[in-house]
Amino acid sequence: MWSMIATWPFSLQCVEKGEEILKGGGRALDAVERGIHLVETDPTVDCVGRGGYLNADGELALDAAMMDGDTLKMGVVACVRGFEHPVSIARAVMEKTKHSILVGQYAESFARRMGFQEAPPEYMITDHARLKYEAEKDKATKPSGHDTIGCVALDQAGSLCVATSTSGANLRLPGRVGDTPIIGSGFYVQSGVGGAAATGLGEDIMRTCCSFRVVDLMRRGLSAQDAVNEVVLTAHYTLKQCGLKPDCIALVCMDARGNTAGACNHKGFAYACAREGEAPHLVEVPPIIDKDEEQEG
């Protein structure tokens, strides 16, 4: 059995690539990495890689992570500028160092040492991203946009893996890091148990450690759907209980048998899915609670 999921409709291309690799007996680690490459390169995806949201200084600084469910090893890079595939640099941190997290200029010099090719700003920053930045940078309104590709795969050998990649929140303070490269918040996986990844406003997802909680509930015997529902509801109401107004939180997860599920607290979330016997397709996720209706009411 093999299975793969990734957040948002723009990830259909990611699971199509993953399907090619996994149905031929390839590894989950390769499926998530090579699938995410397509989204990192796609200039029309405004929240991941090339063409992604700029920070308040007009720079494109990317965050990414990979975690191997067999070993619990992980690799993370945050605030990396000038490289097209931060997910591959994260994989190199995981596989080629004794460490887990490298940030900013140190992650960039590590990438150079590892032979990753640099990508100039005129390639990485699209006209669309620059125009959006110029139009929004001086507005007092809250900047919108903070999504992520979070991808979980199970290969035929039973290994689970998760990887994430994002340009972070639109107009963030330079140096700000969201949930995407934070273990337990933006991602978590353990082979034989399950994996999860998050998308939404990083600050809210980090406050509630969403991804580890989903995997831990599956470990305790909850189905993928019950686990992810429980975590989105608990995160949403915990934030409210603490006097905060919950922003977008969406999660996808997979159990050790390749069963998949998603849950969210807002309209419009969908994920891409492929598994043995099921061609790549999109799954729309109705909100389990709608933060916008709740705030109006």
The set of catalytic residues is: 148
d(CA 158, CA 69): 10
Question: What minimum distance in Å lies between the beta carbon of 262 and ligand GLY?
Answer: 15
178 binds ligand GLY, rule: CB under 6 A: yes
Identified binder of ligand GLY from the candidate list 170, 185, 199, 265, rule CB under 6 A: 199
Question: What minimum distance in Å lies between the beta carbon of 14 and ligand GLY?
Answer: 17
Identified binder of ligand GLY from the candidate list 202, 246, 258, 280, rule CB under 6 A: 202
Q: Is the dihedral of CA 62, 205, 255, 282 positive or negative?
A: negative
**Of 36-44, 172-180, 239-247, 273-281, which segment contacts ligand GLY by CB under 6 A?**
172-180
Question: What minimum distance in Å lies between the beta carbon of 248 and ligand GLY?
Answer: 9
Hey, what long-range contacts does 110-118 have (CB within 8 A, 24 or more apart)?
A: 111/77, 111/80, 111/83, 114/89, 116/83, 116/85, 116/88, 116/89, 116/92, 117/83, 117/84, 118/82, 118/83
The answer to whether the CB of 205 falls within 8 A of the CB of 179 is yes
180 binds ligand GLY, rule: CB under 6 A: yes
Query: What letter does residue 81 receive in the DSSP assignment?
Result: -
Question: CA 61, 139, 83: angle at the middle one, nearest 5?
Answer: 10
Size of the site for ligand GLY (CB under 6 A): 12
201 binds ligand GLY, rule: CB under 6 A: yes
168 binds ligand GLY, rule: CB under 6 A: yes
Identified binder of ligand GLY from the candidate list 17, 132, 146, 291, rule CB under 6 A: 146
166 binds ligand GLY, rule: CB under 6 A: yes
Question: What minimum distance in Å lies between the beta carbon of 249 and ligand GLY?
Answer: 10
Give the end-to-end CA distance of the chain in Å, rounded to a whole number. Answer: 45
Sheet holding 101-103, edge to edge: 101-103, 74-80, 62-68, 160-166, 149-154, 3-7, 269-275, 278-285
d(CA 142, CA 230): 29
Question: What minimum distance in Å lies between the beta carbon of 174 and ligand GLY?
Answer: 13
169 binds ligand GLY, rule: CB under 6 A: yes
d(CA 115, CA 243): 47
265 binds ligand GLY, rule: CB under 6 A: no
Paired tokens of 223: 């189905």
185 binds ligand GLY, rule: CB under 6 A: no
Nearer to ligand GLY, 205 or 222 (CB): 205
Cα–Cα nearest to 95, from 74, 79, 72: 74
Question: What minimum distance in Å lies between the beta carbon of 147 and ligand GLY?
Answer: 6
Site string for ligand GLY, 99-138 (x = CB under 6 A): ----------------------------------------
Chain residues binding ligand GLY by CB under 6 A are: 146, 148, 166, 168-169, 178-180, 199-202
